[in-house]
A and B are shown apart, each in its own frame.
Chain A
Amino acid sequence: MRCEICTIVDNYRVATDTYKMVIESKSIVFEASAGQFVHIRVGGEYDPLLRRPISICEFDKEKGYLTLLYRVCGKGTKLFVNTRPGDSLDIMGPLGKGFPVFNTELTRPKSSMDSANTQRGLNLPLSEVSFNDKKVAVIGGGIGIAPLLELCKNLNKPDIYLGFRDETYMVDEFSEHAGTFYLYTEDGKEGCKGYPIEALAKNINNYEVVYACGPKIMLSKTKNLCEANSVECYLSMEEKMGCGIGACLVCACKSAQDDLYKKVCVDGPVFNSKEVKFND
């Protein structure tokens, strides 16, 4: 069973067209890992017709709470805004492959041999990949910061690079988990003027792993930067989605290894940067 009728606990605005929704779940939350998403049915019977894929921003397994951060951009998300605490939502999930999370407290190398490159081969499921004593950076842009919060909570004080167009949000929540925190806005109203990729580019040699989620241009630049500097890189991708479970084949993204497509919903949404490519 992967569909659940969940109850909305809270739903409030955090910035222009940006909202945070807290949902109480009896099963989905307990299976969730950082970087996964849920697929939500909202509205009347046929309008909108499809579910809406939304990243899981945070979860609290003790309370059974899932937090979603969403930007209002169409028919479905407009309806999300109108939901109130106590309302119920038909939610499918958790779906997709999340971030390979390393926690220095929990994961220790069994022997020095274990850190061999084979352990991080692309053939391994992401959940089995571990990064021992690695220096980590997390970079997010706009609403793309959503799946990164739960990730940051599970990392050991990563350096965090966030970028926004003008208005910032969730800054305190992120900076609390950061080693060094970098904030950028396009107009320089808050933090530095420009894009977080600029700072990451300067510091790239400090890192062994970079996690990213945000606009395609940011992901593409992060991929190029990391690969040019031999830094392991994980990207959370977005594509228009249908079923969310790998049956309809519409959420296709280009595979870097062959000329075929990967399914964002089940092969991702988190990919090793070497698995995907951006230019057609």
Chain B
Amino acid sequence: MIDMSVDIGGLKLKNPVLVSSGTFGFGREYSDFYDLNLLGGIAVKGITMKPRKGNKPPRIAETAAGILNSVGLENPGINNFIEQELPFFKNYDVPVIANISGNTIEEYSIMAKELGNSVDAIELNVSCPNVKEGGIAFGTKSELVYKVTKAVKKCCKTPLIVKLSPNVTDITEMALAAEKAGADCISLINTIVGMKIDIENKRPYFDNIVAGLSGPAVMPIALRMVWQTAQKVKIPIIGMGGISTWRDAIEFIMAGADAISIGTANFYNPYAPIDVLRGIESYMREKGINKIEKIKINKGAKNYE
């Protein structure tokens, strides 16, 4: 009997396949394609205290095996999210993870407190590269990761996930800071800061100049960061970054992820999470593995340092 369930820092999932914030709307967009209850969990579009209109178009550019996005956290704000979007999930039995971004530590805390009763976990976004204030500003200095995590943990009733930015010299420092501050789980990676030039008009393509790179192109970087982080922290890891197939997902789990999340692949293959889930299941059946954690590479068996 194969047991697909995982426990990521107190958040119990029926399987390890999540969908990433910003790539799955507020869930309903994908409900026409398959039963959302099949998913391990849903990280909904990042929200802020006040509604945000988002960045000026263009907001997307395709790159080699990837995309650059500059959405800029467009969202209806926490109140509209609670009133208009959350009730949709009442019809489902799937964990909902609210991804929150604040301008200040207080904002993060207020949002976590308000959402505590209505979602299954909070994901702290300290890594959005597309907004000027907040977001990534908190995620690139370990003292700030520590401070914001500590403050939110105090008033957060649900498991707390900290989503890390890859745009740092050493991601393990940020991971350790989050762990020390009481994070229940960490997720990585958010998008990698990139850029595109409009050569016809001789100027940066995006109004915000830089944009976030995601998709299969970033997977080796994400995988490396998950591996490095898994060597250092004891709390569970949600691995993400360019996962498109079950093979990619297995790589992440082997590297040390306890759960994995599908992001950009949702845009071109809406069934990607289900394909990945079925692939992991048949891989386990074929290999005679009955628990997700047994997929992981046993790092004690060989010195990988």
Interface positions of A (Cβ within 8 A of B): 1-3, 41, 45-51, 75, 92, 239-243, 245-253, 259-261, 280
Contacts and interface: CB of A to CB of B under 8 A. Distances in A.
B62 A50 contact: yes
Given A41-B268, A46-B244, A49-B216, A247 B57 contact: no
Closest 7 CB pairs of A and B: A247-B25, A250-B60, A46-B65, A250-B59, A247-B29, A243-B267, A260-B53
Contacts of B264: 49
A229 to B, nearest CB: 29
Contacts of B29: 243, 245-247
21 contacts: A3-B271, A46-B65, A46-B215, A46-B244, A50-B268, A51-B268, A239-B58, A240-B58, A245-B32, A246-B29, A247-B25, A248-B23, A248-B71, A248-B267, A249-B45, A249-B71, A250-B58, A250-B60, A250-B69, A251-B59, A280-B56
B33 interface: yes
Interface string B8-32: 0000000000000011110001101
B57 A239 contact: yes
Contacts of B67: 49-50, 242
A259 B64 contact: no
B74 A249 contact: yes
Given A41-B268, A242-B267, A243-B266, A248 B60 contact: yes
- Residue with the greatest number of chain A CB neighbours at <10 A, chosen from B62, B66, B71: B62
A92 B33 CA distance: 10
B86 to A, nearest CB: 17
A3 B60 contact: no
B54 interface: yes
A47 B66 CA distance: 9
Given A50-B62, A50-B268, A247-B29, A252 B23 contact: no
B220 interface: no
A75 B61 CA distance: 13
Contact of A49 (B53, B57, B66, B270): B66
Contacts of A2: 32-33
Contacts of B56: 280
Contacts of A51: 267-268
Contacts of B62: 48-50, 75
Contacts of B23: 243, 247-248
B268 A240 contact: no
Given A246-B25, A247-B30, A252-B74, A47 B57 contact: no
A2 B32 CA distance: 8
A252 B206 CA distance: 13
B59 A249 contact: yes
Interface of B: 22-25, 29-30, 32-33, 45, 51, 53-54, 56-62, 64-67, 69, 71, 74, 215-216, 244, 264, 266-271
Given A239-B57, A245-B29, A261-B53, A3 B270 contact: yes
A240 B267 contact: no
Contacts of B64: 47
A141 B264 CA distance: 33
A165 B80 CA distance: 46
B59 A240 contact: yes
Contact of A3 (B24, B33, B54, B216): B33
Nearest to A259: B53
B65 to A, nearest CB: 4
Given A240-B58, A251-B57, A260-B51, 9 more contacts: A2-B32, A46-B65, A49-B66, A50-B62, A75-B62, A240-B57, A249-B25, A250-B60, A261-B54
Contacts of B25: 245-249
Nearest to A46: B65
Contacts of A250: 57-60, 69, 71
A240 B270 contact: no
B140 to A, nearest CB: 24
- Residue with the greatest number of chain B CB neighbours at <10 A, chosen from A75, A245, A249: A249
Contacts of A280: 56
B45 to A, nearest CB: 8
A243 B19 CA distance: 14
Contacts of B61: 240
Contacts of B69: 242, 248, 250
B125 to A, nearest CB: 15
A216 to B, nearest CB: 12
- Residue with the greatest number of chain A CB neighbours at <10 A, chosen from B54, B64, B268: B268
Contacts of A41: 268-269
A243 B56 CA distance: 18
B267 A50 contact: yes
A245 B269 CA distance: 12
A212 B120 CA distance: 46
A241 B69 CA distance: 11
Contacts of A48: 62
Given A2-B33, A245-B270, A47 B74 contact: no
A3 B65 CA distance: 22
Contacts of A75: 62
Contacts of A3: 33, 270-271
Nearest to A1: B33
Nearest to A241: B60
Contacts of B271: 3
